Structure 1
């Protein structure tokens, strides 16, 4: 019996274990069901709490992006942009297929197939969230739109569920193309660029239709991490990401193997900062100030488009001319030495970081690039720029700084390892040592008939000194003021044929009780006509002429041209340019001679439109009938003829030689000790002024004059401005006669010239003149 009982218990044990396993299974299933139910309850509760708080979809259904202020030339070239966000709105139909394919390949290949949410991806993301964080990526394009427009970047389950629910609502409100359009215009892509159109301009200086496959793939790789995949900041990571995009496109068969190979091999020129079609930073700032005065904070977000009167080709010609001639002056006066010096660590990583930090303090200036020297000898320099590979300078590229490579050169002026230098590259790709100039310059050109700006360059580099020398630099004008004194003299009965005595002059009133003795730069010529005296820029004759008409009369007369009388002295130094003018003021003044006697007001803004192109403001059309003459048309005609003489055979003859035209008129100006160099002149309907000098006034050099400093800037610009325009001739207005080889007012015909000679020449002067004619100076 006992045996039987024991055997039964032994036989019953497997059945007991089986029941235990079944019970355990049922328990686990029950717990799982409870767990799932709990999750669904929690999710349901979360969803119910989220639903009432879902934001309105107005942001996407009535999309109004923050579009910056943009400024254009009259012919539509972009010259400036202001706003926290660089953004263009581009309709989906205008976005090239290659860019859409690249983006979808890497971000959401099934975009046109799913309903807004990738369930498998969401499941992975939710599971990761329940176990401690959203580490799994699951966002479709639609979900990214929901997040970018409505949500914060925090990674929580609640935020993810909100994103999913918003995605369904977006998909029900918009079609797929509309959603993709929103995404491609809204997404941040680094360097303050929002949307792919803006990014294309920022990184490649291109419009979207101009992008290559390689460029499109690089842009498509940025959204995942704009700071790491930004090609301007991290070209290596951007390249790796680009190749991943191209591989996905190849897998999806949107490109062929040949296209893949070509795109991977294509070198990309990535811009380091925003570039514009017209180089006009000073103009952009003038417009920005004007728009802010009108619209305040809305200026930077409402998408205002401002069209200026500038001509793109002329503006770029002015910019290039000014920089080229400033650098030419700088080269004439020698190399000053490196900009800075840094001690380079031995460790490669520390060395690279030190170079980066040093170059950050010396930003590039257009084609002048900063670099840190890593190897140096008398025949070769190797240096690291802020971008690209190590560059090498040899041969002629070292000539400008040859002295700085000699061991006997003072240490501060010597180029050595660790020196921060400037380099530039020629059209053949050869590098040369250069330097940032210390001198400044300005250039402005106006339409002489209506005052509209054609070009303006306010300084060598706007980002170095945000100061507009055209509008704000008050400088001594030197001899370019003389034509206005001559103009005043015409109203007193003088003519270009009036004879004056170019002989030494001693007057009371000099410094320390000494006599004042104005001098010519090129000696004395005895008796000569006013026409010839202006052409040769004779200082002594100009002083004698001002004596005759009085400084007070001339000073008052200057106001007709827009000059401020308070800025000019009430003494004889006025005629030598001891007052103060701005380049813009001088351009306005010369326009009076160019247009026959009318004063013009500078006009920069042609029209303002909103983001949709609707005109908000437009300048009234200029009318010749509304203009009032400020000087006699006869006066303007005669001074014009004298200014043409200056350029054909006088101090401005280099302009005629450079341009080969007979209708140029203008005047050189050089102040005492060559502190300021000027050229002001015009042809056809274009009047322009060029200036060069130091912000802290000092001599530009004993051999420098307006003809060597400013005239080349003027002439190089005028070559573009006058291209294709025939030479212009002036017709004599009524009331002037050509008498004895020159022009004179009809009422002053007869003995006006003799009277002037009698007034201006003392008996002693006459004796000196006679002796000079016999024996010379």
Structure 2
């Protein structure tokens, strides 16, 4: 041997030994490791491919999406509002009030405040908020509604170069344009453009117009607090406008403090300044409104705008989106309401007169009168409303008939009516005693005690009246809603024994709609104001769909209507006979906590139109007695109603109202027998008109308990009318007058409740 060691030969492989085992001497991996390596390999390849695709897509999009030309029609995207014909114009929103100024004329506090409010990383970011985009995307995919994720640059791009379209395509385009814009323009140029285009509310676009709209001065003269206020309102111009009420002012104060704290964090003001300035808002001078909002037009445009916001349109889109809004309002009916108030309304100091006309069967608001010129007062009393007094008795009457009572059933007409539960008492006007009166007489002469008795005789008492009112179109009391907008809430509407006497706050619009339910024979329709909205591209963004719901049996609605017709034919609303059309209605007055008349009403209808008229004063709960004489619902309110309806229905077909059905149900309680018929009488026994009237005006307490006499008196109800006899429903002259509300404030026809209302 040569002494060289020969390498050992590998051991022979055992038969059937698995590959990679110790027997082979190989160092092969376990199967799970091989699979893991393979998965990692392909995951890496896939990820790389996706990154490459994403990078290519980014490059392609970045190179293909150019910064477009500024919107050429940005300053002319006016929204037009039309009457129901879609042709006659009511008004316009925001023909843009703008005056562009250089950044050098803008106070530093404006620049610092807007950055603190809208985009605190503005000076250092690349125009995008990636975290915000991811957060918004996750929220949107989870169905939480589309969220924004906009920096100042993105907002500026959307306004000036793109549109307010809510789509992911627009959002992607916005992101790439923003990235390009920060490379083409300096941050100062972007901020200047943004502050000259953004909407601040009150029709003002740009900081200079906003300074004039809020503080009546040019932007260059704004103080630090004023600058912080304007920076605050950008986020929500409606919510943070102090002119919209105490709630908006409180919300603005919180936003204002947030902006000041951001300015302190950036060092533009000291923390001590932020604390001191944040104690209260700066003073806001009185700003005279634009002439385009003069008269009733301003009330209409503001109400329409609120409804558009509720339908989901942003205020910026309303003011600058080029929308075409068709409303339910008819110019003829609007003018009819205004002319009637001007011609027939009282002229007492501090009075507010409001009207509303609703179409039965559709719920369309056809016209209204909101009160003083919008430039003098922005409160729309057709929406704000007041206590409707005895006009609310309609809902107790309907509830009573639905529960099984009939028009023939009688109730307590003597004054006062004492609640058995010890909940006080109700009086008739002048403490008049009527004896037992059927529901026709009780409605005709507005007998308070009879309606209190009816209310407490229902199966669920006052709750049944409340339920009927809400079914027929009166909103419930939504305690979360504050302010003077009562279109969707009725403050104070609670089920107590005096609910039928109308002490809650109800808007004339809703009262008109409640009576329209009777005009439509028991079918209710929701009140609405916006019929159609079309955007600038011609796409229909909203269209109202009419629908009705039966809430009262047709025969019962006809019986209710019959009783209301007697109010006009021979009761407290006879001045409405001048309309010359079949109509039903109800007068009403309400009193405040000092037992002074605070509102006066008449609500009535024909088959084609239902109109409510209200007179109130001051804050809505002050006495009108020193400003309106006479103040009863059968006087000024009825005269206004009659002229408004005559003008609105001029040329329309005269339609009949249905006759009574005299449904006799299963009464829910005893002691409400029909009024007995009168005994035959001789010519010699018939009293004179003066004698009858004397008994009416000076009732004897003992008479209220006597058996019915041969001649009806206030303490003995008249016989139930025969529906087949045309003279029985007030169409023919009668031998003696019935007590009405008109003779004098102390006369027997006016029934007084304590404290809710009169009539």
| TM-score, normalisation: structure 2 | 0.49
| TM-score, normalisation: structure 1 | 0.48
**Which structure has the highest helix share of the two?**
1
